[in-house]
Amino acid sequence: MSWKKDKVRKPAKPNEALTRRDFLQGAGVAVSGGLLVGREPAIAASPDEKAKVLGPEAVPITLRINGKAQKLTLEPRVTLLDALRNHLDMTGAKKMCDRGTCGACTVILDGKAVYACSVLAIAAQGKEILTIEGLAAGGKLHPVMTAFVEHDAHQCGFCTPGFVMASKAFLDKNPNPLQQDVEEGLGGNLCRCGVYVGVRQAALDAAKARLGEKGGKAHGKV
């Protein structure tokens, strides 16, 4: 969760540099009481300026999902994955491991692939959240999806939305990958049916198709 780290590193005012004691107090609050507002400093900055502590009861939050603002009332402990699945009926992101290992819940947060099970919904406020539903907006398949269909990069399909989102984010940053790059880039997603052969080909093929449109030349083996 980068918001927390950034705020610790950069206190709002230079002369209010943190003491170890302040830091521990702040950390204690975060652990025992609940969580702090995403845009506020994550630590109690001074004795007379109490940190705004949220929860444990539900609080109003706003998430920007697929370009649309969604207002929810959630306990601060609710993950982005549960917010999507249980509160917004957006079930494309799947719950498979629920601990940041399998990637079945992958969504794109400000352009970066993240595990939605490992991000709290409140921490995703103010960010652009792209889900598989948004990637197939208007019922039109995204080119990565088309490549998955063509290469049969799925069997039961449960891990597929996560793989598609991870592939999309990966290809945005690596438009011309080698097979080895794909294996590293998609190494954070797991499949039990064993469709990696198809996923590998789909990712390379999607890159090739996009480069072709732009007049580039792919070097990845398909």
Partner 1 sequence: MAKCKYDWPEAGQRKLIGKRISRVTGPAMASGQAKYSYDINRPGMLYARLLACPYAHAKIKSIDTSEAEKLPGVKTVRIIQRVGTEIQWAGDEIVAVVAEREEIAEDALRRIKVEYEKLPHIVHEEDLSQVGDRAKPAAEQRTGDPDAAFKDPDAVISEGYYGLPVIIHCTPETHGGVAEWVDAENLRVWISTQNVSGLPPQIAETLGTPVTNIQALCEYMGGGFGSKFSPDRWGIEMARLAKDVGKPVKLMLQREHDSMVAGARPSYFAKIRVAAKKDGTLTGWESDTWGTGGPGGATLPPIPYVLNVPNQIKRHTSVATNVGPARAWRAPGHPQACYLTMTALDDLAAKLNMDPIEFLMKNLALAKPREQIYRQELQKAAELAEWTKNWHPRGDKSPGPIKRGLGVSIHTWGGGGHNSLCNVAIHPDGSVEITLGSQDLGTGTRTVIAITAAETFGLPVEAVTVNIGDSKYPPSGGSGGSTTVGGVSGSTRRGCVDALEQLFAAVAPGLGVPAEQLEAADGRIQVKGDAAKSLTWKQACAKLGVKSVQVQGKNPGPCQLGSSGVGGVQIADVSVDTETGIVKINKMVAVQDCGLIIDLKTAENQCYGAITMGIGYSLFEEKIMDQVTGRMLNPNLDSYKLAGIGDIGEIVVHMMTGPGYDDRGVIGLGEPPVIAPGAAISNAVANAIGVRVPTLPLTPAKVLAALAKGGIA
Binding site for partner 1 (CB under 8 A): 75, 77-78, 82, 85-86, 89, 91-102, 104, 131-133, 135-136, 141-142, 144-146, 148-150, 152-161, 164, 182-184, 186-187, 189-200
CB of 217 to partner 1, least distance (A): 24
Q: Are 207 and 220 in contact (CB under 8 A)?
A: yes
Cβ closest to partner 1, residue 95 vs residue 127: 95
Closest Cα partner for 171 from 222, 205, 213, 217? 205
DSSP type of residue 161: H
CB of 69 to partner 1, least distance (A): 21
d(CA 184, CA 174): 11
Cβ closest to partner 1, residue 45 vs residue 148: 148
CB of 65 to partner 1, least distance (A): 13
d(CA 129, CA 210): 23
CB of 90 to partner 1, least distance (A): 8
Tokens of 74: 């959630």
